[in-house]
Amino acid sequence: MKKILFVCVENSARSQMAEGFAKHYGKGKVEAYSAGTKIAEKIDPVVVKVMAEKGIDISKQKPKPFDAKIAEQADIIVTMGCDLEEMCPAPLLKKAIDWGIEGPKGKPIEKVREIRDKIEIKVKELLENL
């Protein structure tokens, strides 16, 4: 079973959505994890809401700190797109793919839905290509 690690800065939105989709669509095929380099206190409630619209409950997931040990064990590491002013883990990760997805923090729910849908498409493509 392949292990996929999704990384973003706060682990409160993009990487949490990717983890949720990977667990949903990759059930029995992959193990999905997410982490952040400067973790938030909780997952963005708007993100929980837009994922629930897709029938995926991520309300029990918590932001988790980036751990080099988990990164070493991962077969695939996906960084979600890093803001330049924040600590970006991408250079630290030799086997990372960067999806360059903008952060949804503070954006209207319609924009968060667009970001969610982009992440869903990317996760499905990733799973198909394993």
Q: What is the CATH number of the domain that holds 51?
A: 3.40.50.2300
What are the DSSP calls for 60-101, one per residue?
T----B--HHHHHH-SEEEE----TTS---GGG-TTEEE--P
Q: Which pLDDT value is given to residue 57?
A: 97
129 domain residue, yes or no? no
In total, how many domains does the chain have? 1
16 domain residue, yes or no? yes
Q: Which pLDDT value is given to residue 84?
A: 38
35 domain residue, yes or no? yes
130 domain residue, yes or no? no
pLDDT tens digits in sequence order for the chain, 130 residues long: 999 999 988 999 999 999 999 999 999 999 999 999 889 999 999 999 999 999 999 999 999 998 888 888 999 999 898 643 455 555 555 578 889 999 999 999 999 999 999 999 999 999 999 8
**Which range marks the domain in which residue 37 is found?**
2-124
Q: Which pLDDT value is given to residue 71?
A: 86
